[in-house]
Amino acid sequence: MQSGITVSKELQDAFNELVSTPSQRGIVATIASEALIPQHTLPSKSTDFFSDLPALTPLLSTTAASYIILRRYQNAPDGYVAVTYIPDTAPVRQKMLFAATRLTLVRELGTERFRESLFVTEMRELEKEGWEKHDAHGALSAPLTEEEENLKGIKEAEAEAKGGTEGRRLETGGKLSIATSTEAREALGMFRVGEGGNLLQLNINVKDETIELVGSSSTDADGLASAISDTEPRYSFFRYSHQVEGSEQSPIVFIYTCPSGSKIKERMVYASTKQGFLASMSSDMGVEIAKKVSKVEQEPGALAIATDMQSLARGLESFRDHCFNFRRGVSAQAGAEAGLFETQEAWQEVTMRPIQHGIAMGMR
Q: What is the pLDDT of residues 273-315, one digit of tens each?
A: 888 888 888 877 778 888 887 766 544 343 443 444 444 444 3
Whole-angstrom CA distances from 273 to 182, 276, 282, 364 are 18, 6, 14, 19
Max CA separation in the chain (angstroms) = 72
pLDDT of residue 35: 94
Query: Could you give the CA distance from residue 159 to residue 271 in angstroms, rounded to a whole number?
Result: 10
pLDDT of residue 242: 79
- For 21, residues 6+ apart whose C-beta sits below 8 A from its C-beta are none
- pLDDT grade for 328, boundaries at 50, 70 and 90: very low
- pLDDT grade for 259, boundaries at 50, 70 and 90: confident
**Domain range summary for the chain, segments of one domain joined by +:** 6-135, 146-307, 314-364
Question: What value, to the nearest 5°, has the Cα angle with vertex 201 and ends 263 and 361?
Answer: 100
Number of H helices and number of E strands within the chain? 12, 16
Find out if CATH 1.10.760.10 is the number for domain 6-135.
no
- pLDDT grade for 197, boundaries at 50, 70 and 90: confident
Query: Could you give the CA distance from residue 191 to residue 205 in angstroms, rounded to a whole number?
Result: 21
Question: Mean of the per-residue pLDDT values for the chain?
Answer: 73
Summarize the confidence of residues 54-83 as an average pLDDT: 92
pLDDT of residue 283: 75
Find out if CATH 3.40.20.10 is the number for domain 146-307.
yes
The DSSP 8-state label assigned to residue 145 in this structure reads P
Answer yes or no: same fold for 6-135 and 146-307: yes
- For 134, residues 6+ apart whose C-beta sits below 8 A from its C-beta are 118, 125, 284
Q: State the burial class of residue 181 (Cβ atoms within 10 Å of its Cβ: 0-12, 13-18, 19+).
A: middle
Which amino acid would we find at residue 88? D
The DSSP 8-state label assigned to residue 56 in this structure reads T
Instruction: Find out whether 256 and 235 touch, Cβ atoms under 8 Å.
Output: yes
- pLDDT grade for 249, boundaries at 50, 70 and 90: confident
